[in-house]
Amino acid sequence: MTKNRQVLLASRPDGAPSAANFELAESDIPTPGEGEMLLRTIYLSLDPYMRGRMNAEKSYAEPVPVGGVMEGGTVSVVEQSNNGKFQEGDILVGRCGWQDYVVSDGTSLGKVDPGTAPVSTELGVLGMPGLTAYSGLLRLGKPKEGETLVVAAASGAVGANVGQIAKIKGCRAVGVAGGPEKCDFVVNELGFDACVDHRADDFEAQLAAACPDGIDIYFENVAGRVLEAVIPLFNFWARMPVCGLIAQYNMQDLPQGTNMLPALMRAVLTYRLHIEGFIVRDFADMHADFQRDMGQWVRDGKVKYKEHRVAGLENAPETLMGLLKGENFGKVVIEVSDDPTA
Amino acid sequence: MTKNRQVLLASRPDGAPSAANFELAESDIPTPGEGEMLLRTIYLSLDPYMRGRMNAEKSYAEPVPVGGVMEGGTVSVVEQSNNGKFQEGDILVGRCGWQDYVVSDGTSLGKVDPGTAPVSTELGVLGMPGLTAYSGLLRLGKPKEGETLVVAAASGAVGANVGQIAKIKGCRAVGVAGGPEKCDFVVNELGFDACVDHRADDFEAQLAAACPDGIDIYFENVAGRVLEAVIPLFNFWARMPVCGLIAQYNMQDLPQGTNMLPALMRAVLTYRLHIEGFIVRDFADMHADFQRDMGQWVRDGKVKYKEHRVAGLENAPETLMGLLKGENFGKVVIEVSDDPTA
């Protein structure tokens, strides 16, 4: 490669993003100065939260500016180093964004040991989505043996880990996923006790049947129809950690129809529901425990993972659009350039 | 009196309760057996939660059976005692229900010292509503100096205490109440920083103007229009203890129109809202602290209270119907029989 390709936010989407909201720009490969390094992106992570960054509105993070490089987690290799901390050939995990190359002074980058697991797992089971599942479930969900947990997007990056960790903690894990292929995988490969297809006409009845003892923990990452189906099934003292709302990210106006807010509030009062939003960085103090536990569980085969890989940075926009529609099957990873450890 | 009057639940209401749902029955005054006492009710507390007990549905407490005596908190005097623990003339607080007389073995009754405050305050500021405000605000609301608290039904039994305790803790207290008379009282007598009339056409704009720094704690006891107006004003890390939903207690079907659930969920995720339902008995461990602090604050004039008194047990049904429509002004107390301490 002789040029640096970058995917920029060309314009803010109205509703679902389209190709016109992105621009693939080319520029010269930057040159590292004193104390800096040139990093080449190997893998780029695509995640639902990116939809929020495309909006102008106040949220828990700053929006990507129009014309700016799309943000994202990455695994990179050091091509050139004038930095004492990292050497040429080191594999680093960080947030270098949707681009082939970046110059960095090493801030907020972590060195990856390629000997423990494929380095792309630093973007999934051993990275941000894994920590989201681990910290939100253990800190807010407080799973107890014999309880029932429900999580949607159960074959996805966060949901798959939530259910598998809940199983390790002795819970009944019930997944929700889109279509029979994903549901089969969630039960037969990931070991959930049940998985319900949210596209089924009688989804609500199937979910109730899969939770004969009610729901003690609903790990919320989608909202929409799944949340509405969960509300009547809550047990006393149920917990609802909230880390994502993918079903409503493209929503421009509040929907018309039945107002479900009083139904949720009734459940909050009657069952003393505990609902709490969180962002993975809120629980940074759990990172060491996460690395120890999750690393062990992955090595022991207690936690399995599935990647949905797409080759080529140029395909990232379309892949993100698909992710927001649930078209991925597993953790979405863009193969940006050759992985020297593979 | 030679007869015992009891208000029974004659039938379960559809929507708002009506006189037909209650029956005033007369029977002989019961006779205490060995170890028992005859109690005469002096004051009966009416509270919004009673609407929930009139339904057949599963909730945090058992429904009152059709034909059963309506439940309620009471202050009583011991008329006759075969019980070693309490003497004739003792004033007791408990849950003796909507009736003139009851026989009790003393279980779940507490002795009231008539020297500290009027004994009816055991049903309000020094009783269940006071503890609801104190425990929910301190345990779940976690008020910090300089924060903004909003509470509705601000001239009512719980809301008045929530705002006054928040002021003691250094918060800006913003009340919501129905009509200018209540709003004036909340600001000028109770010392809230502001109070907004929820009947105003521009209520939402007035509430926003009263909370220039956003909302850190919304103590939820009403839901409905107030909750919907609060959602856009939440600050990061805001807390919402939920102890009541009076605006939706008479609701039979979920309302049609705009579905506000996605708006609440967006706030939960973006601002890491902590929503938690509670019932006063969940925080029974705070009772001693409550008695010490609240007793002191009432004696020091830092916490004021207002009672809405209605004479006659026979008027309890109509008074409860009015309470559910916000027609009371202060803590509702039914004067059932002569108060020997007054």
Say yes or no to pLDDT of A295 above 80.
yes
Cβ of A258 within 8 Å of Cβ of B260? The answer is no
Chain B's closest residue to A244, CA to CA, is B269
Of A259, A265, A271, the CB nearest to B259: A259
When pLDDT is cut at 50, 70 and 90, the band that residue A107 belongs to is very high
B254 and A258 within 8 Å at the Cβ level: the answer is yes
Selected residue of B227, B246, B265 to mutate for chain A interface (largest A Cβ count, 10 A): B265
DSSP H or E segment with residue B77 = strand B74-81
Query: What are B43-56's pLDDT values in tens digits?
Result: 999 999 999 999 99
Render pLDDT for A233-285 as a digit per residue (tens, 0 to 9). Answer: 999 999 999 999 999 988 889 999 999 999 999 999 999 999 999 999 999 99
CB-CB under 8 Å, A260 with B256: no
Residue B1 has pLDDT above 70, yes or no: no
Structure tokens at B110: 């507490």
- The CATH number assigned to the domain with range A3-123+306-335 reads 3.90.180.10
What is the structure's pLDDT at A1? 61
| B102 to chain A, closest Cα gap in Å | 29
Question: Cβ contact (<8 Å) for B262 and A248?
Answer: yes
SS3 content of chain A, % helix, strand, coil (to 5): 30, 25, 40
Cβ separation of B275 and A279 shorter than 8 Å? no
Q: Which of A236, A256, A265 sits opposite B223 (nearest CB)?
A: A265
Average pLDDT on A23-50 reads 97
**Which of A236, A266, A272 has the CB atom closest to B248's CB atom?**
A266
pLDDT at A167: 98
Q: Which CATH superfamily is domain B128-298 in?
A: NAD(P)-binding Rossmann-like Domain (3.40.50.720)
ipTM over cut 0.85: yes
Distance CA B102, CA B97 (A): 9
Question: Same topology for domains A3-123+306-335 and A128-298, yes or no?
Answer: no
What does chain B come to in residues?
342
Instruction: Tell me B161's DSSP state.
Output: H
Going through chain A in order, the beta strands assigned E by DSSP cover 3-9, 22-28, 37-45, 74-81, 91-94, 101-104, 110-111, 148-151, 172-177, 194-197, 215-219, 234-242, 256-258, 274-277, 307-311, 331-335
Q: Sign (positive/negative) of CA torsion B307, B313, B319, B323?
A: positive
Superfamily, domain B3-124+305-335: Medium-chain alcohol dehydrogenases, catalytic domain (3.90.180.10)
pLDDT of residue B335: 98
8 A C-beta contact, residue A161 and residue A130: yes
DSSP character for B237? E
Model pTM greater than 0.80? Answer: yes
B277/A254 touch (CB, cutoff 8 Å), yes or no? no
Provide the pLDDT confidence category of residue B59 given band limits of 50, 70 and 90.
confident
Mean pLDDT computed over every residue of chain B: 96
Kind and range of the H or E run holding B104: strand B101-104
List the end-to-end C-alpha distance of chain A, in Å, as a whole number.
Answer: 20
Query: Where exactly are the structural domains of chain B?
Result: 3-124+305-335, 128-298
Does A293 score more than 80 pLDDT?
yes
With an 8 Å Cβ cutoff, the interface of chain A facing chain B consists of 58-60, 220, 223-224, 227-228, 236, 242-245, 248, 251, 254-266, 268-279, 282
The whole-number pLDDT of residue A204 equals 98
Span A208-235, average pLDDT: 97
**A264, A266, A272: residue with CB nearest B279:** A272
Number of C-beta neighbours around residue B27 at 10 A: 12
How much of chain A, in percent, has pLDDT values that exceed 90?
Answer: 96
